[in-house]
Amino acid sequence: MANSINDFSPLEQHLLNDFQRDMPLSATPFADMARQLGVSEDDVMRSVKSLQEKGAISRVGPVFRPNRIGVSTLAAMSVAAKDLECVARIVSAFAEVNHNYEREHEYNLWFVVTASSEEHLDYVLHEIEQHTEYPLMSLPMLDDYFIDLGFTLKHAAETGSYNR
């Protein structure tokens, strides 16, 4: 993964900074972004792919407040170190899993699962346990707190240089 804003092209910098929030909600969001930036849709698509390859972004998509559409839970597993990578791959293969991450704790693999209903969520959690052969702990949200995880990047637009 890149360590500095300078590791990104000016277009990548704009995409990272300008569309953390307020991404165009339309049938053609990448074309809309391209128009706003004065570049082609292909330029935007190539840059998004480059950002994914660099590990700067994992996905582009909406973020909904928890349990507004469907249901979700945070889940944790205590996985033997020798099995962690394999179990994480299995967990990530489920479409209902948003992401997973390792923590330094007895429960060392954490992930978020979303589903259309409580019944489907229970089914997915059961399937994860069956496929990984590890029990999991479901930690459904009791109270929600909105934390804006966006951050402003200093980028080429501040200097006036921008490759179009």
Question: For residues 153 and 13, what is the distance between their CA atoms, to the nearest angstrom?
Answer: 8
DSSP characters for 2-60? --SGGGS-HHHHHHHHHTSS----SS-HHHHHHHHHTS-HHHHHHHHHHHHHTTS-S--
Of the residues 14, 99, 120, 131, only one is catalytic, namely 99
DSSP annotation of 67 reads: T
Residue 124's closest CA among 98, 86, 85? 98
Question: For residues 80 and 82, what is the distance between their CA atoms, to the nearest angstrom?
Answer: 5
For residue 154, give both structure tokens. Answer: 């200093």
Active site residue 14: no
Question: For residues 23 and 61, what is the distance between their CA atoms, to the nearest angstrom?
Answer: 9
Residues 6+ apart with CB under 8 A from 134: 77, 78, 79, 83, 87
Q: Which residues does the annotation mark as catalytic?
A: 99
